[in-house]
Amino acid sequence: MEETTPSYDYFYSLSSDAPEENCQTLKLPYMEIFVSVLYIVIFLVGTVGNGLLIGTLIFKRCVWRLTDTFIVNLAISDFSFLITLPFWIDKELASGLWRSGSILCKGSSYIISVNMYCSIFLLTWMSGDRYLTIMYPSMAKKIRTKLYPILICISVWILSCLLGLHTLQSRELKRYNNNTYCVDKETITNNWIGSLMLLTLAFFIPLFSILTLHYSIIKKLYVHYQKFGKHDKKLRKSIKIVFTISIVFLFSWTPFNIFKILALISSILELKQSFCLYYKIVYLGMELGGLFAFANSCTNPFIYFFFDDCIGRAMIQSILPCRKYNKPGSSFSSLDT
């Protein structure tokens, strides 16, 4: 490993103000090249995949389902994040220097934060929607009107944009040895209480909610199967899709956010100078964890293609409009309403 200037993380996260000689962060050999290539792949696959998914959902021949409103908003959230990736690719190729200006420093960081909040809030609500459908079907029929998912998505976007303002206010360009970096303001970095509260409310509480809701759903379905020996295939498939997307999202974002908490602890206890190795490991973990978080934005189109018969067929027809394609066991019937 070689020691370099600190890697300024791209999220709502804690970061150093400028390179320090006493405790510099670690980077793996050829890290910039590896990260740049990975970002390019994520950008190409993600923009094409999510663009195709959005187009398919809007123009597909299937009957529009309530869950499609959540799905298209997830895809729009990921797509909006992916268009900021070229700026971070340029940053990696420039060995951490920010060459895209102050507006893009703030704006791209803001979009990334909004993307994370929007994704986890939508997934939490989708899990809650499945829970409501299974546990309280009569209530679900009354609540789940055509306007229901639209109001939920509007609320999620408003909340996510408001929470993202923390990042918009905190990011700034800072010069060090005639080099420009996109970093957190010192006053924001020291506000560890606010950062910890935001991290808990906007990630770990929704994480716990998603896990609890899915546990309750699985338990209910198991009891129902044991009692009656049958299950609703459409309902089970729609639950599998939401569950798979949630698990992929959690595995993608949890490592980064765990290291984020460790970084906050380092700031609270002022461990940087006394435990320099701890500081180095934490920030290397944040950078590696950030790769998984970025990659999450290109996974959902594949999940829908393989797990949702209607969307999978429509995506094939969008790519090959003159070819008839039948997935085994597929139909144009909706998984749910």
pLDDT score for 221:
79
Cβ atoms within 10 Å, residue 252: 20
Secondary structure of 116-183 as H, E, C letters: HHHHHHHHHHHHHHHHHHHHCHHHHHHHCCCHHHHHHHHHHHHHHHHHHHHHHHHEEEEEECCEEEEE
What is the Cα–Cα distance from 50 to 77, expressed in whole angstroms? 9
Local confidence band at 271 (pLDDT 50, 70, 90 cut-offs): low
Upper half-sphere CA count for residue 281 (Cβ side, 13 Å)? 8
Average pLDDT over residues 244-259: 88
Q: Is the pLDDT confidence value at 181 over 70?
A: yes
Q: What's phi and psi for 29, nearest 5 deg?
A: -60, 140
Enclosing H/E stretch for 27: strand 26-27
pLDDT score for 114:
93
- Amino acid 176 reads Y
The residue ranges of every structural domain in the chain are 31-316
What is the Cα–Cα distance from 80 to 4, expressed in whole angstroms? 31
b/e map 211-232, b = 16+ CB within 10 Å: eebbeebeeebeeeeeeeeeee
147-173 per-position pLDDT tens digit = 999 999 999 999 999 999 988 888 888
What is the Cα–Cα distance from 284 to 27, expressed in whole angstroms? 7
pLDDT score for 103:
93
Query: Are 308 and 334 within 8 A, CB to CB?
Result: no
Average pLDDT over residues 321-336: 50
Cβ atoms within 10 Å, residue 300: 24
- What is the residue-wise DSSP string for 13-64? ----SS--SSSPPEE-TTHHHHHHHHHHHHHHHHHHHHHHHHHHHHH-SSPP
Q: What's phi and psi for 183, nearest 5 deg?
A: -135, 175
- What architecture (CATH level 2) is domain 31-316? Up-down Bundle (1.20)
Average pLDDT over residues 231-260: 82
14-48 per-position pLDDT tens digit = 344 344 445 666 667 778 888 889 999 999 999 99
pTM: 0.81
Min mean pLDDT across 41-55, 242-256, 264-278 is at 264-278
Upper half-sphere CA count for residue 181 (Cβ side, 13 Å)? 21
62-74 per-position pLDDT tens digit = 678 888 999 999 9
Nearest CA-CA partner of 276 in 100, 67, 21, 22:
22
Min mean pLDDT across 67-76, 299-308, 309-318 is at 309-318
What is the Cα–Cα distance from 287 to 12, expressed in whole angstroms? 13
Enclosing H/E stretch for 98: none
Looking at the chain, how many residues does it have?
337
Q: Is the pLDDT confidence value at 12 over 50?
A: no
What is the Cα–Cα distance from 127 to 31, expressed in whole angstroms? 37
Min mean pLDDT across 116-125, 177-186, 228-237 is at 228-237
pLDDT score for 87:
93
